[in-house]
Amino acid sequence: VLDDTFKDLTPRFCSYDWFQTDCLVTVVIYTKQKKGMNSEMVIVDHQDGRLRVDSILRDYSYLLHIELSYEVQEDITVRIAEKVGKVEIVLKKKNNLPWSKLGQPLECHNSFIKYTDRGLYYRKCKLVSKTEVTHDTKLFCLMLPQSTHLQVPVGQHIYLRKIIAGTEIVKPYTPVSCSLKSDFKEPFCHDSTHLILMVKIYPNGLFTPELDHLQIGDYISVSNSEGSFKKSQVQTLEDLFLLAAGTGFTPMIKLLNYVLTNVCTVRIVKLMFFNKTEDDILWRNQLEQLALKDKRFEVQFILSEPRKEWTGKQGKISSSLLSEFVKRSKKDSKLLICVCGPTPFTEQGIQFLQDLGYSKEEIHSFTA
Ligand code: FAD
Ligand code: NAD
């Protein structure tokens, strides 16, 4: 059953078709989404002869799920005609024979339901590099299978899944870019074939020590993305304030990159970064370099357990820190405050901000 809001926005049913040449099979999905369709909204997997295409249309998911009639090669091409909402998935035939049909329908094929009701789908990704960020935090670079098309939108997280001592353990992580500077080219930086995760390893944790034990070349299951953040929240934004604690910095990374590069109305972007000690500050040098390079960006570090040499700010999140930090660049400017960190940090932050008079729409907290 479709709810009324969706009925008004998009025609009810998506459909699909397919055609072939001697060596290619093209599957076409007509989403009828006339604007705003982009390649983040289409997730394609091809595993063991099964093709799965999940088209995400606002809060809904249209699924195509087929056991293909014949074998195809691993690499797939996904093309999106944004203006007409058409998605094309091009498959290369393994033996160039004519196909009489595309294949057999599998579970939930041709269904159109709420995205949150679809359930997570996992594919195995290969660990290709592991690099230190601080004494306890590392960047894990995972390579998606060649037959997967998955781009994680700004502000969203994925889940990693692993069997540990016979039990399936699932934990959320927020993909990051490989650096804060978009002109800082590194391998795998701007492609969509890799996911980079910045993960703090807790020696007594359930999941992270196991993740840390993965060797280069090992595989781990990675889900589709989830999250309530929408890019529309920063469109025409003027002032952006980011409150991050520890690894709560991870969703801020792509957000910073996105806003500074794509939101031309933005005048100030300020990050208040809470950590225990100086050694815990993630990407401190990069943040300071960015602040020097881009006059719209400012960063403040607040330590809760500083060594005595620390001359910067200290303490934990408080109303007085926030009232001093969050200031509109002009009266009635369009503002957003994003909060992420340990649950008590996030909850206190939201409460202080509401007490200071910021509305619910002006506050976004990253949660699972
Ligand atoms: P856990 O077993 O959960 O333990 C964590 C710490 O708490 C350890 O020090 C442990 O000793 C202690 N602990 C556990 N249980 C107790 C208890 N009962 N009492 C007292 N102490 C206890 N993390 C990242 O590093 N990077 C990310 O990008 C990231 N993104 C996230 C996105 C979302 C949406 C959410 C919700 C979380 C995210 N996290 C991220 C956190 C991540 O999901 C895990 O919670 C984290 O990696 C810890 O997992 P773990 O199983 O290793 O540790
Ligand atoms: P940490 O223990 O090193 O603490 C970092 C800072 O957080 C501290 O210096 C302090 O200022 C603040 N803080 C910690 N506990 C607090 C409390 N009880 N009350 C007020 N402030 C407090 O942080 P960490 O180990 O890096 O943990 C980061 C947290 O962020 C984890 O809980 C993780 O699950 C969460 N996280 C959430 C998301 C998300 O999208 N929801 C993403 C990444 C991380």
Express each pLDDT in 138-190 by its tens digit.
999 999 999 999 999 999 999 999 999 999 999 999 999 999 975 544 444 45
The atom of ligand 2 lying closest to the CA of 247 is 26
Q: In 10-118, which ranges are continuous DSSP H helix?
A: 115-118
Candidates 206, 128, 123; CA nearest to 170 is 206
Tell me the sheet residues that pair with 63: 54, 111
Torsion, CA 352, CA 354, CA 357, CA 358, rounded to 10: 110
Best of 247, 255, 322, 348 for a ligand 2 pocket test (most atoms within 8 Å of beta carbon) = 247
Q: Which of 90, 118, 146 is the last residue of a domain?
A: 118
Tell me the sheet residues that pair with 18: 27
240 and 214: one domain? Answer: no
CB distance 252 to ligand 1 below 6 Å: no
The atom of ligand 2 lying closest to the CA of 202 is 25
- pLDDT above 90 for 37: no
Best of 174, 204, 316, 352 for a ligand 2 pocket test (most atoms within 8 Å of beta carbon) = 316
- Three-state SS string over 142-197 comes to EECCCCEECCCCCCCEEEEEEEECCEEEEEEECEECCCCCCCCCCCCCCCCCEEEE
Q: Could you read off the pLDDT of 110-131 as tens digits, one per residue?
A: 999 999 999 999 999 999 999 9
Cα(198) to ligand 2 centroid in Å equals 14
- pLDDT above 70 for 7: no
16 and 113: one domain? Answer: yes
The average pLDDT across 12-20 equals: 89
Cα(142) to ligand 1 centroid in Å equals 20
- pLDDT above 60 for 22: yes
Task: For residue 173, give its domain range.
Answer: 122-223
Cα(230) to ligand 1 centroid in Å equals 25
Answer for the pair 52, 63: CB distance below 8 angstroms, yes or no.
Answer: yes
110/68 Cα distance (integer angstroms) = 15
The average pLDDT across 291-295 equals: 97
3-state secondary structure of 321: helix
169 and 101: one domain? Answer: no
Q: Could you read off the pLDDT of 184-219 as tens digits, one per residue?
A: 444 444 568 999 999 999 999 999 999 999 999 999
Specify the DSSP class assigned to residue 351: H
- pLDDT above 60 for 94: yes
3-state secondary structure of 318: coil
Please give the distance of CA 26 from its chain centroid, rounded to a whole number: 28
Residue reference for tokens 């459909």: 15
CB distance 157 to ligand 1 below 6 Å: yes
The atom of ligand 2 lying closest to the CA of 315 is 11
293/289 Cα distance (integer angstroms) = 6
41 and 129: one domain? Answer: no
Between residues 268 and 192, which one has the greater pLDDT? 268
Residue reference for tokens 């997730």: 43
208 and 103: one domain? Answer: no
257 and 353: one domain? Answer: yes
Q: Which of 97, 118, 139 is the last residue of a domain?
A: 118
Ligand nearest to the CA of 348: 2
Q: Could you read off the pLDDT of 209-250 as tens digits, one per residue?
A: 999 999 999 999 999 999 999 999 999 999 999 999 999 999
Ligand nearest to the CA of 273: 2
Token digits of residue 245 = 């604690």
131/207 Cα distance (integer angstroms) = 18
Task: Flag whether the pTM goes above 0.90.
Answer: yes
Token digits of residue 320 = 């007085």
Token digits of residue 210 = 């196991």
Best of 140, 169, 199 for a ligand 1 pocket test (most atoms within 8 Å of beta carbon) = 199
